[in-house]
Amino acid sequence: MKRIKAIYPGSFDPPTNGHLDLIERGSKIFDELVVAILRNPEKDPLFSVSDRRNMLEAMTSGFDNVTVETFDGLMVDYALSVGATAVLRGIRAISDYEYELQMALMNRRLAPSIETVFLMAKEEYSYVSSRLVKELTRLGGDVTGLVPNSVRQRLADRF
């Protein structure tokens, strides 16, 4: 029987409950799901790659078909190297669509054998982003319910 392996690439700086919701949905439709953190020295992340990996591993320990890895270079090259045939991405509001469409079509041009699959997280996470979660914490806002408690604690320790 055909087994479908997917990667879920992203920055995850930090991972949110929206990411977790998408991972849960992805784990149900794919046989294997690799959460793939981009190691991108050009960005100036709040959390190191190993911190993000630890957070994601803790969040996903309950899913037996989900693993957490890191990658650099072209995402499709990484997907091909691990035998993935699908890329999972989340779409929140329509504002995400343009960037995601551009990226999906460019990736399809680079690697026609890989399909991008878009899923929508729960409506209650439709306005949650790593950027806003960081800003909220920095300014003293409460991010309870937007990120797992372990991530909230790490955010509080940073600011």
Q: Is 90 in the site for ligand PNS (CB under 6 A)?
A: no
Q: Is 75 in the site for ligand PNS (CB under 6 A)?
A: yes
Active site annotation includes 92: yes
Contact 37/72 with Cβ under 8 angstroms? no
Residues 123-152 that bind ligand PNS (CB under 6 A): none
Q: Is 38 in the site for ligand PNS (CB under 6 A)?
A: yes
Among 16, 27, 60, 107, binds ligand PNS (CB under 6 A): 107
Out of 19, 53, 89, 152, the active site residue is 19
Q: Cα(75)–Cα(142) distance, rounded to whole angstroms?
A: 34
Among the listed ranges 6-14, 51-59, 120-128, 141-149, the one in contact with ligand PNS (CB under 6 A) is 6-14
With contacts defined by CB under 6 A, how many residues of the chain interact with ligand PNS?
9
Active site annotation includes 150: no
Q: In a 10 Å sphere around its CB, with 0-12 CB exposed, 13-18 middle and 19+ buried, how is residue 16 labelled?
A: buried
Among the listed ranges 56-64, 101-109, 115-123, 135-143, the one in contact with ligand PNS (CB under 6 A) is 101-109
Active site annotation includes 43: yes
Helix axis angle for 149-158 and 130-138, nearest 10°, is: 50
Contact 52/80 with Cβ under 8 angstroms? no
Query: What's the order of all strands across the beta sheet hosting 86-90?
Result: 66-71, 32-38, 5-10, 86-90, 115-119
Give strand pairing partners of 33. 6, 66
Q: Is 106 in the site for ligand PNS (CB under 6 A)?
A: yes
HEC-encoded secondary structure of 104-136:
HHHHHHHCCCCEEEEECCCHHHCCCCHHHHHHH
Closest separation in Å from C-beta 124 to ligand PNS: 20
Q: Annotated active-site positions, please?
A: 19, 43, 92, 130
Instruction: Tell me which residues touch ligand PNS (CB under 6 A).
Output: 9-11, 38, 74-75, 103, 106-107
